Amino acid sequence: MAESSAWVYSDTVKEHFLHPRNILRDDEDFAADGSGTVGSVQCGDEMLVLIKVADGRIADCRWRTYGCASAIASTSALSEMAKGMTLGEAARITPKQIMAYLGGLPEAKVHCSVLGDKALRAAIDDYAARNGVTLGKEKRPPVIICDCTAASDQDIMQAARDGAVTWGELQQKTKIGTGCGKCKERAMEALDEAIFEIHHETMKIHE
Ligand code: FES
């Protein structure tokens, strides 16, 4: 792909970046039923997603991010997609669906959409924990992170549970990145998120 075309945004991305939907205003008192925050140290992004739930569906949501144009557009799109969905449906929104909704993202920015769906899941998990609701996480479809080896986010999560922290340890446990190697950045972000999620679970157990 030519360097210049790698940074072309679709009209939908531009529209959501310039006019983001459901953004949390500073003066807004949004009484959330669930709250989720995720961040990526490498990217400098941080995302907060808040949800209101009625009859098992996402009745409303708000979000805030310190991320880039893609992060803003992808979270705006995600917030529109999630409204009206059941909690299970919303928890299964994939980065691929967000990208399809946006008409694509520059390849270098794809990882930004991953944070949005993770933040939404964290908000749903928070709602579930507050209300004693059990969600079937295992029913989420795996998201392929490495096209060469077909390693998915679930493989990375398992590797993290098995103690992988570094790229070398992740490769040893999953064989990820042993082809063209272009998935390294996204895989390491997925590993960071998996470690964050495991840490979050551990905190809940000790609360
Ligand atoms: S996409 Fe992972 S090694 Fe090629």
Helices 95-102 & 110-131 angle (0-180, nearest 10): 120
Cα dist from 56 to 1, 89, 133, 141, whole Å: 43, 10, 10, 21
Q: Clarify whether 68 is annotated catalytic.
A: no
- Taking residue 133's Cβ as centre, other Cβ atoms within 10 Å add up to 13
Q: Which of 110, 146, 153, 175 for mutating ligand 1's site (highest number of atoms within 8 Å of CB)?
A: 146
Q: What are 59-113's pLDDT values in tens digits?
A: 999 999 877 778 888 889 999 999 999 888 898 887 778 888 888 777 666 666 6
Pocket (CB within 6 angstroms of ligand 1) = 146-149, 177-183
Rounded-to-integer distance, Cα 86 and Cα 103, Å? 24
Predicted pLDDT at 14: 85
Domains detected in the chain: 6-139 (3.90.1010.10), 142-207 (1.10.10.1100)
Average pLDDT over residues 116-127: 88
**Is-contact 35 126, C-beta < 8 A?**
yes
- Is there a catalytic annotation at residue 61? no
Q: For residue 108, what pLDDT is reported?
A: 63
